[in-house]
Amino acid sequence: MRLHIEGKYTGLAPHLLGWIAERLKALNTPDDDIVEAWVTLMQQKRQEVARVQLQVAGKLLQVTQRGATPDAAIDAALQMVQGALHEVRATRHLRAAMPMAKGAAVSTYAASAARQS
C-alpha cells in the first residue's frame, strides 16, 4: 500500500504520522487490498478537517470528518472509512461465494417470461 499523508494550512505532529500509518496498516491487514491511501489534514473555520481516501480494488472510498483536534478529526475519519471498507469487502466476499453459472441470468429470465405467458 502506498501511503500519502499531508497537512494543508496546518502542521502534522510526528506522533500522528506513526499513528495514521499503524491504523491504515491494521485496516489493510486481513485482505491486503488497499492499493493507495491519502490522508489530508487541514484547518477550516477553527476546526480540524481530516480527509481519508482509499483506493481499494477499483473503488475510491472517500471520507471527510471534522473535529476539535487533529486527533479527533483523523480518528473519526478512519472509523467511518473502516465501515465503508467493511461494506466493500462484505459485498466482494458475497459475490465470490455465489458463483454464477454461464447463462444463468438468461435462463432465469426465460423461465420467468414463460410463467407470465
CA-closest candidate to residue 47, choices 72, 12, 27, 21: 72
Describe the strand order of the beta sheet including 2-8 as a list of residue ranges: 2-8, 34-44, 47-56, 59-67
pLDDT tens for the chain, 117 residues: list them. Answer: 999 999 998 888 899 999 999 999 999 988 899 999 999 999 998 899 999 999 998 899 999 999 999 999 999 999 999 999 999 999 888 888 876 656 555 444 444 555 555
Three cell numbers, residue 11: 502542521
Is the CB of residue 45 less than 8 Å from the CB of residue 100? no
Q: What is the DSSP letter of 51?
A: E
- CA-to-CA distance for 36 and 1, rounded, in angstroms? 5
- Can you give the pLDDT at residue 9? 84
Q: What pTM, to 2 d.p., does this model score?
A: 0.78
Dihedral angle of Cα 25, 28, 32, 37, to the nearest 10 degrees: -80
pLDDT, position 10: 83
The predicted structure's pLDDT at residue 65: 97
Name the one residue in this structure whose C-alpha cell is 480518528.
75
Residue owning grid cell 478529526: 73
Phi/psi at 37 (nearest 5 deg)?
Answer: -135, 135
pLDDT value of position 58: 82
